Amino acid sequence: MIHLGDANDALDRAARTDTTGLSPERHARFLVGMAHAHAHAQRRARGDALAS
């Protein structure tokens, strides 16, 4: 998910995503993707703060 666009957009979309029908493997992959999106968003926010 993060590879397709903005991390914050991915996190917003993920918050609205119903994951109840996902298999355990797909759900785990979804959660790993969200962890990557959170990490990317934090790195970007830190970089923006340092650039100011």
Supply the pTM of this predicted model.
0.72
Residue 14 half-sphere exposure toward CB, CA atoms < 13 A = 20
Task: Count CB neighbours of 41 within 10 A.
Answer: 17
Q: What is the pLDDT of residues 10-48, one digit of tens each?
A: 899 999 999 999 999 999 999 999 999 899 888 877 766
Q: Residue 46: what pLDDT?
A: 72
Q: Residue 4: what pLDDT?
A: 55
